[in-house]
Structure 1
């Protein structure tokens, strides 16, 4: 029987997850389908979860705005999902729903791949933003031993994030927020206004955005001689444990990044 899986969010047509997972499915020779499931409302997303519980789906990746709803609907949640209060991965089994968050794994995987010399343990890192993406990044970096600083226009939201994640996460403001930081992560959905001249030599700059792949922030950082880490590495990194959880095997080694770059229209 064909394994049915996919990704859901709103909007969802832009998602690269079907391309990534289908590339791995084909390379592994699996009898499976991974497609985008549009859900224009919370009620529509709940109905999709009901289909999963009924056995129509093996697994589902979740993107905005349904990650918190996915977490709340689960019968079982991983430590990573509990830490950030949301889920981007759901696995259906015998009518039950298991939730996990692989975004933090994706971030750490991207750093290991594109900035292998970086060690955040005991060091200061800065996250721009305080939304769901920032929460996942902060959780993963705090677990890795970093001292996390949150820089966000809305102090209230930043305070909630810091309170939820504990003493390893604090709020920072002004130009001194970047002093001594070994890593800057942009988790904002809008273009950040960051003067890379404020950053120490050797600072790694990561942008979670992958459209465009070379964001203005990464371009400015690289022009100054800093190491840049792109959002596509994180996207593929978070997809790997999702594939394994849904299909029961590791993602095969294949040219998935090249295929995604071709879709995006960027040069490798």
Structure 2
């Protein structure tokens, strides 16, 4: 079987998904292709998506700005996509198009691989900074993993409040302003930055100061361009352990590949090559 895969979004020309999935195909001993399926905002999304479906794709990823927009055009959703309200992976099964969200699993898997100690205490205190789509997926994934104390800090309180309902498991969650979170950072064992603050070209920006973190904490940033954001650099200087964003990218892709092919290929060996590619950009 020759797998026909791709990525729907705009813009996608600089995506590393083709490289990642080509590596997975090789590791799985499968043949296939992975195409960039750019849909410009001024084009009819419905017409372009219909064209993609008719081109006999086995599945595709979905990125901004279409993770929510694609939902009405799918036949079904998995539980994670339904609760999070966003789709980043689509598979064709028996003529039906099913939407998944692998971001939540990707983050939790990458965190477990890089910092397994955090999973020894499900009562540890977690702070998520931001309330966008990535924050929704990460909150859902951590709640499903059994963590029960997950706070959210965001500029807009209502956006943060909407995230709490995505966790099936009972969580104790406080909604904080960024200033409030900054003032009590020493209360958190895991701090996760989920916005695009600090992404290239604005590499000198950080969403909050980390002056008050304790040196036994883990600090994560989902931004991976640059690999070492200002946020993570400050965390390292304070003695905290850091969790890099490109690992989430890799493990969410691993789960998507498994959905398409039913094969879970090893991904650990790709972390360093992926980092090298990103550092060279």
Note whether the superposition's TM-score is higher than 0.5: yes
Q: Describe how 1:162-241 pairs up with structure 2 within 5 A.
A: 162-163=164-165, 165=167, 168=171, 169-173=173-177, 174=180, 175-191=182-198, 192-241=206-255
Counterpart for residue 201 of structure 2: none
Cα-to-partner distance string for 1:104-125 (whole Å, 9 max, x where unaligned): 1111111112212112512221
Asked if residue 81 in structure 1 is aligned to residue 81 in structure 2, the reply is yes
Question: 1:63-94: per-residue Cα shift (whole Å, max 9, x none)?
Answer: 11111122332211111111201111100123
Unaligned runs of 5+ in 2: 199-205
Structure 1 distance, partners of 2:270, 2:167, is: 34
1:60 to partner: Cα distance: 0.7
Find the counterpart in structure 2 of residue 156 from structure 1: 158
Q: How many angstroms does 1:198 deviate by?
A: 1.2
Q: In the superposition, relative to structure 1, how do residues 76 and 89 fare at CA in structure 2: closer, same or farther (>3 Å)?
A: same
Quick check: 1:88–1:99 contact (8 Å CA) kept in 2? yes
Question: Post-superposition shift, 1:180?
Answer: 1.9
Q: How many residues align?
A: 267
Asked if 1 retains the 8 angstrom alpha-carbon contact of 2:197 and 2:207, the reply is no
Q: Normalized against structure 2, the TM-score is what?
A: 0.87
* 1:50-69 superposed matches below 5 A: 50-54=50-54, 56-69=56-69
Cα shift readout 1:131-182 (whole Å, capped 9, x = no counterpart): 0011101111122232211111122222222355476243123134534211
Structure 1 length-normalised TM:
0.91
TM-superposed CA distance for 1:44, in Å, is: 4.3
CA RMSD in angstroms, aligned pairs only: 2.2
Provide, for residues 178-200 of structure 1, a one-character-per-residue CA deviation record: whole Å limited to 9, x for no partner: 34211110001113332222112
Change (3 A) 1:178 1:263: same
Distance (Å, rounded) in 1 between the aligned partners of 2:52 and 2:263:
20
Provide the C-alpha distance between the structure 1 equivalents of 2:58 and 2:23, rounded to a whole number of angstroms. Answer: 18
Q: Secondary structure in 2 aligned to 1:69?
A: coil
| Pairwise CA distance, 1:52 | 4.7
Q: 1:129 and 1:10 mapped to 2: Cα distance?
A: 22
CA distance in 2: counterparts of 1:66 and 1:18, whole angstroms = 18
The alpha-carbon deviation at position 12 of structure 1 amounts to 0.6
Tell me, which stretches of 5 or more residues in structure 1 are unaligned? none
> What CA deviation, in whole Å up to 9, does each residue of 1:6-43 have, x standing for no partner?
11111111211111001111233322001211011285
Change (3 A) 1:143 1:164: closer
Farther off after superposition, 74-83 or 225-234: 74-83
Q: Which has the higher contact order (CA 8 A, sep 6+)?
A: 1
